[in-house]
Amino acid sequence: MIGNGRTNDPQGVRRRIVDTAYDAFVKQGYIATGMLEIREKASVSGGAMAHHFPAKRALGLAVIRDRVSHAVRQTWIEPLDRCVDAPAAIDLIFGDIIGELAPKGSVSGCPLNNMAMDVSPHDPEMRLALDDIFAAWQEALSAKFQADLASGRASNIQPSSLATLVIAIYSGAMAMAKARQDVGALVESRAELAALLALKYRRVTSAG
Amino acid sequence: MIGNGRTNDPQGVRRRIVDTAYDAFVKQGYIATGMLEIREKASVSGGAMAHHFPAKRALGLAVIRDRVSHAVRQTWIEPLDRCVDAPAAIDLIFGDIIGELAPKGSVSGCPLNNMAMDVSPHDPEMRLALDDIFAAWQEALSAKFQADLASGRASNIQPSSLATLVIAIYSGAMAMAKARQDVGALVESRAELAALLALKYRRVTSAG
DNA sequence: TTTAAAACAGGACGATTGACCTGTTAGGAG
DNA sequence: CTCCTAACAGGTCAATCGTCCTGTTTTAAA
């Protein structure tokens, strides 16, 4: 109505909406989250919401492409480049995630997996967008295993299927942790995964 | 209204409702499935539905306790008793599931995992019921590994955490298969899991 | 300064949700 | 047979869903 100090900030409003939606989608699920709830939490009017995201699907797509994709890249792909080999990176990632989960008290699960589980059956376009993220994740891990094989750090491994296995272990352990509200599954899976990778790797950390 | 050949069949009606709900919950998700949809698919009136299940939560609980629990027991726990050791059972189970999925054309995912993912954050009672199923599954697998250890078939394994790993691999691979609509993740995970278990087991199938 | 388009406000829309109501019928106990 | 309760029919309820509308204000280009 009356023009109190309103300032147009399309990028900021859009960012607030996507951030709020990302949180809600990951914690409660895409279907269980209403547009009204997002509008209220993000302090955005219906008009602004409709302007930026005419439909819920568009918001879901934006969350997947702008946030879920980034989350996977940041927590799983980038650490691969900063570690000497795949096992070191994987153990570091598991450790970080367990460390972040422990004090929080509740386990909300893997963003990518959470989105994929309740969106995949209903929206082919969103499913494909999530599929791309899975593919990038698998490819990055696979490339790291391949590099370890080429550099002689690892032997007798099949990079592609081993990468799939690692993703499955992480996704499954996170799903269990969410269902049981206990990080135990992540802790146990981390140890087992480290042990089985150690059999294929000759570590240089200690003399041997 | 007019008393056309109606017959009271409380057990049958209840079974039809639970069966229909189980299918819908697994394929579309608990939240995404409406009570009206279940009523129509099961050909049940609103009055009958309200009589048997006063609230959606009660139906969800019944599906978990009567169907999901049974599905896990039948596909994962009972085969353990019919196989010589855990690796044989696990490979058989993966093979059966992949074989059933291949001609179907679509992957709807693991019933237990599907239910857990979208129900856990919203209903503590249903989450605990699912938690019990996870616990029974983990315990059965753990006991089989323990038996293999005692009988000398396996060595250098930790039954409890290894059982958790197997469940994580299966759940995660199934989640990937559902998200990507491709059984590839299950096939690859099966092979990797068989290979890593073989390292801990001395097989008696072939001479050696 | 004029102007057109983007950005935003606030509310209303029909459809659908889960829950529940009153009334009627079936079927076993007495 | 009578009677009573579980079983069932059919419809209604407020609440909430996602979407869209009209109108106003900001903003940058001309």
Instruction: Give me B194's structure tokens.
Output: 């068989």
Q: How far is CA A162 from CA A6, A52, B185, in A?
A: 54, 41, 10
Q: How far is CA B60 from CA A179, A203, B68, in A?
A: 15, 49, 10
Taking only the tens place, the pLDDT of each residue in A14-57 is: 999 999 999 999 999 999 999 999 999 999 999 999 999 999 99
* Range with lowest mean pLDDT among A58-62, B90-94, B194-198, B200-204: B200-204
Question: Considering only CA atoms, which of A84, A78, A116 is closest in space to residue A96?
Answer: A78
**Straight-line distance from CA A8 to C1' D24, in Å?**
13
Give residue B2's pLDDT.
44
**Straight-line distance from CA A149 to C1' D3, in Å?**
83
pLDDT value at A101 more than 50 = yes
Q: Indicate the helix (H) or strand (E) that contains B94.
A: helix B86-104
pLDDT value at A191 more than 70 = yes
pLDDT value at B173 more than 60 = yes
Taking only the tens place, the pLDDT of each residue in A162-173 is: 999 999 999 999
Q: Compute the residue count for chain A.
A: 208
pLDDT value at A113 more than 50 = yes
Reported as a pLDDT band with limits 50, 70 and 90, residue B4 is low
Interface test with B, best of A68, A120, A156, A182 (most B CBs within 10 A): A120
Q: Calculate the average pLDDT of chain A.
A: 95
Specify the pTM.
0.95
Cβ B3 to strand C below 7 Å: yes
Give residue A5's pLDDT.
72
**Each residue of A168-186: b (16+ CB within 10 Å) or e?**
bbbbbbbbbbbbbeebbbb
Taking only the tens place, the pLDDT of each residue in B95-134 is: 999 999 989 989 999 999 999 999 999 999 999 999 999 9
Give residue B6's pLDDT.
85
Give the three-class secondary structure for B14: helix
For B36, counting Cβ atoms within 10 Å of its Cβ (0-12 exposed, 13-18 middle, 19+ buried), the class is exposed
User: Using CA atoms, how far apart are residues B11 and B57, in angstroms rounded to an integer?
Assistant: 19
**Which stretches within A83-158 are classed as H helix?**
86-101, 111-119, 124-150
Q: In A, which residues are within 8 Å of B184 by CB distance?
A: 164
> For residue A50, which amino acid is it?
A
Give residue A190's pLDDT.
98
